[in-house]
Chain A
Amino acid sequence: MKTIWVIARNTFIETIREKILYAIVGFSLLVIVASLLAGSVSLGQDVRVIQTFGLTAMTVFLLVITIFVGSHLLYKETEQKTIYLTLTKPVTRVWFYLGKFVGLSLVIGASALLMGLVYVILLWAKTGFVAPANYWAIGFTILEAWLVVAVGMMFGSFASPISSALYSFGLILIGHSTTTIHAIAQKSAPTIRYLLEGVYYAFPNLEKFNLRNEVVYAISPNPTQVITTLIYFVAFTALLLALGIAVFRKNEF
């Protein structure tokens, strides 16, 4: 456990030193603040515009960080040959992989908290009130990004950074289109229906973490929804980590 934490801390420090991270986070903050401008030309719908623009900007930039850093994380270790130094120590590949996951998740969490803080301050300054639904949406967005970290690392364990980023992007797109896929499946012929339903259940359903539409109507999730989503998150992340570790253990450097 201590080993995982040490690797996680190093990964965190290493990642937050990357200049590209500052550029992405900085740009996301700029977009969140710029939602004020968009809100001012929306015929009195400014709160609605600030909420959707702010939360969408947060999600997009978190996923960008996740995809680019996540897919690059393991590759960089092998490319710079730093992994040899680590693995000669009493560190198993499982701990190493998990440490990397926790470290990147911490980076994502920290970035999300910063973006969330700016968003909440902005909303509070505008309306004097921040509905709990906003906090739930931010929390669930962080969970989504953590799940995508596991996805990116799994692909990164066997593919090049660019392929891995593309695969992750595709998976996110599918993950958010599950409602449409399910709807199409219900209307299709039996063979296609089973195929599409297979896709529906096999891929992570990222729409479960999407509370960003409900925020506009200040609808908070009910406890059952929160618990099932948390269970889903833990199960799917464990599955992705297990798959990633299985591949990573067999890799030859």
Chain B
Amino acid sequence: MIFTDLKLRIVPLIVLIAWSVAYISQINYDAWRYYSPSVLNTSFNEFIEPQPLSPQNTRLISFGATEFAANIYWLQLIQYYGGGTPYGQYRKLPELFDTVTELSPNFQQAYITGLIILPGEGFVDQALSLGEKGQKNLPDSWEMPYYTGLVYHIYKKDYAQAGAKFNQAATFAGAPAITKLFAGIYFKEADQRKKAYLIFQTVVATSEDQYIIARAEKQLAHLDGIFTLESAVAKYRQQFSVYPKNLNQLVTSNIIKKIPVSPFGVKYTYNPKTGRIGDD
């Protein structure tokens, strides 16, 4: 009886003590979390930077659910990219894209997203190798060479490669009609004018979009102007054994009747030392 009475008194006491301890620790936690110097709040990623397992190890422990594992890393990647750059750079980003695409080699959106955001974060070469992997794994996708071409253009300033990629992208079904036009423009920028000219001719012959045809025709007329001036300079040099001092000399020496005008309104430039015609 005494024991039972004791038990009845002890239970509320234990509850009271337990609740008090819980309350004090909660207060303590709040003080640390909200009022202590802000170490934790600098960035979420600083403390929980993703540490992906290697694709092979992930595959080994995934019980065959590789697409599921790829999606887990995909979600982690999105959270990571949205969480701020604790070290001045999203240094785990290339590894995450690589892991996702190793586990799910046909995950098209992962390649495209990688090609769009990786170069901007300073991982240009990693983006390009992701693009190459994408082209290997998704050989029928126009998006892979298209977005790889954009990286070559914007971040590498390698217009010849950009042109080659766009030219490749244009051969796939579903590629935007303007892709071929872009390829021509890139080749023109890369000083591969003959190649560019042929591409613009193909655009005029095959495109159904009137705007694109009009743009390609303008590019052709622009290049025609350059070619006319180039051959005139060559003729001048043949006659006088020197390059003309300026383009007006081509008119005064009756090689051409007038200096062509670019349909884009830009002036053709000329280098008297090399005889080169430019359009800057």
Contacts and interface: CB of A to CB of B under 8 A. Distances in A.
A177 interface: yes
B68 A52 contact: yes
A216 interface: yes
A43 interface: yes
Determine which residue in B65, B70, B78, B113 has the highest number of CB atoms from chain A within 10 A of its CB, and name it: B65
Contacts of B68: 52-53, 55-56, 212
Given A42-B74, A45-B71, A53-B71, A213 B63 contact: no
B64 A42 contact: no
Nearest to A51: B67
A176 B67 CA distance: 14
B71 A212 contact: no
**Central interface residue in A56, A173, A207, by most chain B CB within 10 Å:** A56
A180 B74 CA distance: 23
B66 A213 contact: yes
B109 interface: yes
B164 to A, nearest CB: 29
Nearest to B65: A56
B59 to A, nearest CB: 6
Contacts of A217: 106
Interface string B156-199: 00000000000000000000000000000000000000000000
Nearest to A207: B64
Given A53-B71, A180-B56, A43 B109 contact: yes
Contact of A49 (B63, B71, B106, B113): B71
Name A's interface SS.
helix
B255 interface: no
Interface in A181-218: 206-207, 210, 212-213, 215-217
B63 A173 contact: yes
B13 interface: no
A225 B43 CA distance: 50
Nearest to A178: B64
Contact of B75 (A49, A60, A216): A49
Contacts of B70: 52
A172 B64 CA distance: 10
B64 A180 contact: no
Contacts of B104: 213, 216
Interface residues of A, number: 28
Given A43-B113, A44-B109, A180-B59, A38 B75 contact: yes
B78 A52 contact: no
Contacts of B75: 38, 41-42, 49
Nearest to B79: A41
B60 interface: yes
A93 interface: no
A28 interface: no
A59 B65 contact: yes
Interface in A17-67: 38, 41-45, 48-49, 52-53, 55-56, 59-60
B50 to A, nearest CB: 15
A47 to B, nearest CB: 11
Interface string B30-70: 00000000000000000000000000100111111111101
A76 B104 CA distance: 43
B251 to A, nearest CB: 59
Given A49-B71, A177-B60, A43 B78 contact: yes
Nearest to A209: B64
A205 to B, nearest CB: 10
Interface of B: 56, 59-68, 70-71, 74-75, 78-79, 104, 106-107, 109, 113
25 contacts: A38-B71, A41-B75, A41-B78, A42-B78, A43-B109, A44-B109, A45-B109, A48-B71, A48-B107, A52-B67, A55-B65, A59-B63, A59-B65, A60-B63, A173-B63, A176-B63, A179-B59, A180-B59, A212-B68, A213-B65, A213-B66, A213-B67, A213-B104, A215-B67, A216-B104
* A-B residue pairs, 8 tightest by C-beta: A176-B64, A52-B68, A210-B64, A56-B68, A213-B67, A176-B63, A56-B65, A52-B67
